A and B are shown apart, each in its own frame.
Chain A
C-alpha cells in the first residue's frame, strides 16, 4: 500500500491524504461515536445503549425520547461543535503564530468574545430579562469581539514584526482586561440568563437548546470546511515568512484570512459555551503527536480530539457530582493547566 493517497478536484483543490492519518481519523471517529453514545446513555436517568440507538433511529419509549431529544442531544451536539471549533481555532493560531503555546484563550481572543457576548446581552435585554433582538446575532457579536481583540493584540505586539513572546505576553494582559470588563458589565447591566452568567463564563454547555444547535451548526460547518481548505496555506505559514514568500505564497493576506477564520471559530464557540479553556491549546498538540504536523490531517484530527475533550468534560461534569452540575470548563482546565505546564517544561530551552 502506498503511503499517500492524492485527492484532486479539477484544478482548484488538491491534497495528499496520508494513509496513517486516514486510519487515525477512522479510529477517532469510532471513539467519538462511542463517547457520544455513552454520553447520551449516562445521566440522572440511565438509558441503555441499545435503547439510545433505538431512539436515535426514531423508536424507543416516550420518556426516553423526551430525555434524549429535548435535553441530552442538543447539549451533546453543542459540546462537540464547540470542541471542534476551539480545536481548529487553536491549530490555526499555533500555525500562524508559530508558537506551540498559542491558543485562543491564552492570547485573549476568548476573553474578547466573552466581553462582546456580555455586552450584547446587556445592551439588548429589556426589563423582563428577555432579549429584544434575535439570539441569532449572538455568534456575530462574539466573532466581532474576538476579531477586534485578535487584531488589537497582534497590532500591539507589532514592533518590526511580531515576536511570539510579545504576542503571548500582550495577550495575557488583554485577557485580564477583558475579564475585568466582563465582570463590570455583569454588575452594571441587566443580563439575560444572569444567574447563569457566572457559570457560563467558566464554560458550560448546560441548557443548550435546538435553537442553539441550528445557529451554531451552519456556522461551525462552514468555518471548519474553510479551515480544511486553507490548510495548505497553513503548512506554508509554518515554514516562516521568508520561505513561504519564496514558495509564492501571499503571506500577509493569507495570515489575515486565517486569523479571521480562527476568530470566527472562537466566537461561535464562546457565544454558546462561554470560555471553555485549554481545548484550543491541547487538541492540536495531541493531534500532532498522532499524525504529524501537516495541516491537511492535523485539522480534522484536532477537531475530533477537541470534540471528545469537551464531550468528556461535560459528561463528567454532569454525572460525577449529580444532581449538581460542574461546568465543563472546570475539567478542561483540570487537564489543560497541567498540560500547559508540561508544554512549558518541554519547550523550556526555547
Chain B
C-alpha cells in the first residue's frame, strides 16, 4: 500500500474530494456549448433564461451530478462484491447484475407499459437482486465452493441470457424500443435531475450503511472461518452486503443504464493505494469512482464531436486492459 499512515490517507482523501469537485465543475463547463465559470455562478444567482443558463441548469448540472453519484455507487458496489466473493474481477457488469436489471426494466416497459421512474427503480432493484442471486447460487456448487472462475463464467452466461431476452422483447415491441433504447446504451446524458433525486435517498442510505459494515466486511474478506472465529454474524454481514450491492447497482442501472467496468477498475486501484481496510476502501472508491465516470463522460463529448460516445463504451475501452491485466496477474486480492 502506498498511503501507510492515517494522516496520509486523510490527506489523500481530501485531495480526491477536491479533484471530485473540480470534475463536477469541469463536467459543467466543457462541452459543445462553451460555458465559463462565471456563467455557472450566474445561472444560479442571476438566472436570465439565456441559452447558456438553460444548458447549465437543465443539462450540464444534472449530468455532472448523475455521473458523480453513479460512478461512486458502482465503484462501492464493486468493492463490496469483491470483498464478499474474494474475487478481484467481481463487479456488477461482469456478474450480470446490470443485464438483469436491464432485462427487468425492459420487460416492465414492453409487457406492462410501466413508464414512471418510481416504478423503474423498484423493478431495477428486483432485476439486480434476481441476477445476483442466480449467479451467486450457481457458482457456489462444487467442492471448492465459490471459485473466481465459476463466478465470472456463470455471470457472463447470465448476462448473455438476459441481454438476448432484452433484444427479443425489443424486437417484439418497437414502441418500447423507442422508450428504452437511450437508456439501454448506458449513458448519463439527458437524465432528468428527478431521476437522480428518486434514487438518491436509497443510494445515500446504502453509502452510509456501507461505512457501518466496513469492519465486519474486513473480516469476511479474509475468510468466513476467520470472521466466524472473531464472533461475527456472517449471515447478517453477507445479507447486508447483498442488499447494498442490489441497491447501489440496481439504482445506478435504473438511472443510467448498464455502465460497466467502473466496479472492477476502481477497487483494484484503491486497494494497492490504501490497503485492505474497507473503512478506507469504501470512501476512496466512492470519490475515485465519481471522478472516473465524470472524466470518461467529459472525454466522451470530445472524441467524435459534435456526436457523443456513450459513456458505457468509454468505460469499456478504459476497463478492458485493466480486466486483462488482473486476469493475467492471477486472482490475488492484493
Q: Which of A67-75, A227-235, A286-294, A326-334 contacts B (4 or more CB under 8 A)?
A: A326-334
Q: Is B172 in contact with A174, judged by CB distance below 8 angstroms?
A: no
Residue B161 is within 8 A (CB to CB) of chain A in the complex = yes
Q: Is A184 in contact with B313, judged by CB distance below 8 angstroms?
A: yes
Q: Is B164 in contact with A170, judged by CB distance below 8 angstroms?
A: no
Q: Is B161 in contact with A180, judged by CB distance below 8 angstroms?
A: no
Residue B36 is within 8 A (CB to CB) of chain A in the complex = no
Q: Which residues of B contact A165 (CB under 8 A)?
A: 149
The complex places the Cα of A274 from the Cα of B138 at a distance, in Å, of 29
Residue A176 is within 8 A (CB to CB) of chain B in the complex = yes
Residue A30 is within 8 A (CB to CB) of chain B in the complex = no
Q: Which residues of A contact B304 (CB under 8 A)?
A: 188
Q: A173-B327, A326-B168 are in contact. Are A344 and B320 (CB under 8 A)?
A: no
Q: Which residues of B contact A106 (CB under 8 A)?
A: 156
Interface string of B147-184 (1 = CB under 8 A from A): 00110111011101100110110111000000000000
Residue B233 is within 8 A (CB to CB) of chain A in the complex = no
Interface string of B304-334 (1 = CB under 8 A from A): 1001011011001100100110011000000
The complex places the Cα of A340 from the Cα of B157 at a distance, in Å, of 7
Q: A202-B164, A333-B164 are in contact. Are A170 and B328 (CB under 8 A)?
A: yes
Q: A169-B89, A174-B320, A333-B160 are in contact. Are A180 and B312 (CB under 8 A)?
A: yes
Which of the residues B138, B144, B185 comes within 8 Å of A344, measured between beta carbons?
B138
Q: Is A327 in contact with B171, judged by CB distance below 8 angstroms?
A: yes
The complex places the Cα of A169 from the Cα of B154 at a distance, in Å, of 12
Task: Report the count of interface residues on B (CB-CB < 8 A).
Answer: 42
Which of the residues A159, A170, A179, A321 comes within 8 Å of B172, measured between beta carbons?
A321
Q: Is the interface of B mostly helix, strand, loop or mixed?
A: helix
Q: Is A277 in contact with B171, judged by CB distance below 8 angstroms?
A: no
Q: Which residues of A contact B167 (CB under 8 A)?
A: 198-199, 201-202, 327, 329-330
Residue A324 is within 8 A (CB to CB) of chain B in the complex = yes
Q: Is A324 in contact with B171, judged by CB distance below 8 angstroms?
A: yes
Q: Is the interface of A mostly helix, strand, loop or mixed?
A: helix
Q: Is A173 in contact with B320, judged by CB distance below 8 angstroms?
A: yes
Residue A101 is within 8 A (CB to CB) of chain B in the complex = yes
Residue A337 is within 8 A (CB to CB) of chain B in the complex = yes
Interface string of B82-100 (1 = CB under 8 A from A): 0000000100011000000
Q: Which residues of A contact B143 (CB under 8 A)?
A: 348-349
Residue B260 is within 8 A (CB to CB) of chain A in the complex = yes
Q: Is A325 in contact with B171, judged by CB distance below 8 angstroms?
A: yes
Q: Is B313 in contact with A180, judged by CB distance below 8 angstroms?
A: yes
Interface string of B248-268 (1 = CB under 8 A from A): 000000000000110000000
The complex places the Cα of A157 from the Cα of B329 at a distance, in Å, of 10
Which of the residues A169, A174, A334, A348 comes within 8 Å of B152, measured between beta carbons?
A169
Q: Which residues of A contact B89 (CB under 8 A)?
A: 169
Residue B142 is within 8 A (CB to CB) of chain A in the complex = yes
- Contacting A at CB under 8 A, from B119-163, are 138-139, 141-144, 149-150, 152-154, 156-158, 160-161
Q: Which residues of A contact B149 (CB under 8 A)?
A: 165, 168-169
Which of the residues A159, A321, A324, A333 comes within 8 Å of B328, measured between beta carbons?
A159
Q: Is A277 in contact with B185, judged by CB distance below 8 angstroms?
A: no
Q: Which residues of B contact A340 (CB under 8 A)?
A: 153, 157
Question: Can you spell out 29 A-B residue pairs with CB atoms less than 8 angstroms apart?
Answer: A157-B327, A157-B328, A166-B328, A169-B152, A173-B323, A174-B324, A176-B93, A176-B94, A177-B320, A180-B312, A180-B313, A180-B316, A181-B313, A183-B312, A201-B167, A202-B164, A277-B160, A327-B171, A330-B171, A333-B161, A333-B165, A337-B161, A338-B161, A344-B154, A345-B142, A348-B141, A348-B142, A348-B150, A349-B143
B contact residues vs A (CB 8 Å cutoff): 89, 93-94, 138-139, 141-144, 149-150, 152-154, 156-158, 160-161, 164-165, 167-168, 170-172, 185, 260-261, 304, 307, 309-310, 312-313, 316-317, 320, 323-324, 327-328
Give 7 closest A-B pairs by Cβ, nearest first.
A348-B142, A180-B316, A333-B164, A337-B161, A330-B168, A177-B320, A173-B323
Beyond contacts A177-B320, A333-B160: 15 other A-B pairs, Cβ-Cβ < 8 A, are A157-B327, A172-B153, A172-B156, A173-B324, A176-B94, A183-B312, A184-B310, A187-B310, A202-B168, A327-B167, A330-B171, A337-B164, A341-B157, A344-B157, A345-B141
